[in-house]
């Protein structure tokens, strides 16, 4: 059955324009957009009350932890939070699953564990860790995972996970070369272990357990050095590269320069790097503990500039929640690092980005949806209002506001650094392939219709 949506506005042009339209959905796809459309026989009609409608957001960096670390988050609760926040597609990381997605068999285990549990569609990262390099078949596993439809391979230059260890510089070079051989995308967590680990040891040995010590252990130079090394590696290969959760203005600008020079590389940052600084971490403690660590207010300003200027391609949440007790161990070194962020990702960018004039409405769509869909092989199925694209969209009432309260999150992670923040605008409905998965009045729907989306091409 087709559905006709009427009386809404969608972004048009390259700035802040929005055009009043109606649109028809059939078979879960967009079929037609026009200024006026008349209902056809038997068609359901939904009036969207003059609200703004934008493409469903793509969150390209989440840790939903199924199977494995399920005391922190599971796919059902993480995807419910995503839907509440206007996310219709997530890309889940390989490293916080047990077993990690480093082999085709592990991919099968992952898919079996999450089938029927997601409220939103999902793509998957594969990974290359120090652990998996001990298996002589790791090259073959990469090729098989790429052929299966994963969107890329996550790597670390600094990892705190025993089940997904980081790569040495020489090992990273091998992984980039292997990705180049199969024309695959390789992602990288950029913090140089040779800079961080000695600093961390010295601080721990001195008895420091405060949040400032954590910040001191992970300086900007660690990220910058790792990004520089990664750019060199990608520039000499046929691989494409992506730096996750960039925290420094200098790092973002390095990505922009590399792109300008023709290197196939992209970068993302996260709302917490835009909203908070090292000063906030020192004052508020582990609720703002992340890796990389928060940097300066100047870095935040430079990251906003990188987003608006095109040096960074898109935003990601790096959603990595945990129970409150894991944030309250008595030492910054053992407190869990991560933020519950997928559901606040779009509200933050709409309010603090678009409404405050840091980015245009067109850029809001690009940074929260279209660019990630393009980079990871999901476009035009996702991330756009085109005929025959998946009918994923978010309805925003621009006359309302949203006050953040962690207790209202469907996620297992109820702690948020945005507690009591008031954002402009309110997400009143989220639709996935033409089906409503969230509404302000009724909450999250019970049906978990999310599907695995393989990379195109």
In angstroms, rounded to a whole number, what is the distance separating the alpha carbons of residues 198 and 179? 30
Quickly tell me which residue has 């925003």 as its tokens: 396
pLDDT of 72 reads 97
Quick one: pLDDT band at residue 426, thresholds 50, 70, 90? very high
pLDDT of 132 reads 94
pLDDT of 358 reads 98
Q: What is the DSSP letter of 40?
A: P
pLDDT digits (tens, 9 = 90+) for 94-116: 999 999 999 999 999 999 999 99
Looking at the predicted structure, is the pLDDT value of residue 457 above 80? no
Quick one: pLDDT band at residue 1, thresholds 50, 70, 90? confident
pLDDT digits (tens, 9 = 90+) for 75-91: 999 999 999 999 999 99
Structure tokens at 450: 């999310």
Looking at the predicted structure, is the pLDDT value of residue 237 above 90? no
Q: What is the mean pLDDT of the segment spanning 272-288?
A: 98
Mean pLDDT in the chain?
A: 97
pLDDT digits (tens, 9 = 90+) for 164-187: 999 999 999 999 999 999 999 999
Quick one: pLDDT band at residue 437, thresholds 50, 70, 90? very high
pLDDT of 239 reads 85
**Burial readout 115-154 (b: 16 or more C-beta within 10 A, e: otherwise):** eebbbbbbbbbbbbbbbbbeeeebbebbebbbebbbbbbb
Q: What is the mean pLDDT of the segment spanning 366-383?
A: 98
State the distance between the two ends of the chain, measured CA to CA, in whole angstroms: 31
CATH no. of 56-375: 3.20.20.140
- The residues with which 238 forms a beta bridge, in sequence order, are none
CA torsion 79-166-228-342 (nearest 10°) is 10
DSSP alpha helix (H) spans, 116-190:
138-148, 169-181
pLDDT of 439 reads 98
Q: What fold is seen in the domain 3-54+388-444?
A: Urease, subunit C; domain 1 (2.30.40)
In angstroms, rounded to a whole number, what is the distance separating the alpha carbons of residues 424 and 434? 26
Looking at the predicted structure, is the pLDDT value of residue 367 above 80? yes
pLDDT of 373 reads 98
Which residues of the chain form CATH 3.20.20.140? 56-375
pLDDT digits (tens, 9 = 90+) for 330-358: 999 999 999 999 999 999 999 999 999 99
Structure tokens at 48: 């969207």
pLDDT digits (tens, 9 = 90+) for 47-64: 999 999 999 999 999 999
Closest C-alpha among 210, 288, 282, 213 to residue 247: 288
| Segment (H or E) for 321 | none
pLDDT of 238 reads 82
Which residues of the chain form CATH 2.30.40.10? 3-54+388-444
* Pairing, β 87-92 against β 121-124: parallel
Q: How far is CA 237 from CA 129, 136, 177, 184, in A?
A: 20, 22, 6, 11
Q: What is the mean pLDDT of the segment spanning 361-377?
A: 98
pLDDT of 198 reads 98
């Amino acid at each position: 059955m087709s559905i006709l949506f009427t009386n809404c506005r969608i972004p048009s042009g390259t700035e802040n324009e929005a055009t009043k339209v109606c649109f028809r959905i059939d078979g879960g796809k967009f079929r037609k957009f026009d200024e006026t459309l008349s209902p056809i026989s038997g068609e359901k009609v939904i009036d969207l009350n003059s609200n703004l409608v934008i493409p469903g957001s793509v969150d390209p960096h989440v840790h939903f932890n199924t199977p494995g670390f399920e005391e922190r988050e599971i796919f059902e609760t993480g995807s419910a939070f995503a839907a509440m926040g206007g996310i219709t597609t997530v890309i889940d990381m390989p490293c916080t699953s047990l077993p990690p997605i480093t082999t085709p068999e592990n991919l099968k285990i992952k898919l079996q564990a999450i089938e029927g549990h997601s409220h939103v569609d999902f793509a998957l990262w594969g990974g290359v860790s120090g652990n998996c390099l001990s298996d002589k078949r790791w090259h073959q596993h990469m090729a098989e995972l790429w052929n299966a439809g994963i969107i890329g391979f996550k790597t670390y230059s600094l990892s705190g996970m025993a089940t997904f260890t980081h790569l040495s510089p020489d090992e990273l070079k091998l992984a980039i070369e292997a990705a180049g051989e199969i024309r695959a995308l390789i992602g990288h967590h950029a913090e140089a272990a040779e800079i961080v680990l000695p600093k961390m040891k010295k601080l721990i040995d001195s008895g420091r357990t405060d949040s400032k010590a954590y910040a001191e252990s992970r300086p900007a130079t660690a990220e910058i050095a790792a990004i520089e090394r990664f750019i060199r590696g990608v520039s000499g290969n046929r691989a494409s590269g992506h730096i996750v959760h960039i925290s420094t203005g200098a790092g973002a600008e390095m990505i922009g320069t590399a792109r300008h020079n023709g290197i196939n590389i992209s970068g993302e940052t996260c709302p917490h790097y835009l909203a908070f600084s090292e000063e906030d971490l020192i004052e508020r403690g582990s609720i703002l503990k992340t890796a990389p660590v928060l940097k300066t207010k100047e870095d935040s300003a430079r990251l906003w500039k990188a987003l608006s200027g095109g040096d960074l391609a898109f935003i990601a949440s790096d959603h990595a929640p945990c129970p409150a007790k894991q944030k309250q161990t008595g030492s910054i070194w053992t407190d869990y690092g991560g933020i519950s962020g997928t559901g606040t990702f779009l509200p933050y960018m709409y309010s603090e980005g678009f409404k405050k004039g840091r980015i245009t409405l067109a850029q809001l769509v690009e940074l929260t949806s279209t660019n990630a869909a393009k980079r990871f092989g999901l476009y035009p199925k996702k991330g756009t209002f085109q005929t025959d694209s998946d009918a994923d969209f978010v309805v925003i009432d621009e006359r309302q506001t949203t006050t953040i309260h962690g207790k209202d999150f469907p996620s297992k992670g109820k702690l948020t650094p945005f507690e009591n923040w008031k954002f402009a605008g309110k997400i009143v409905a989220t639709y996935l392939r033409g089906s409503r998965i969230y509404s302000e009045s009724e909450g999250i729907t019970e049906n978990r219709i999310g599907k695995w989306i393989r990379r195109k091409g």
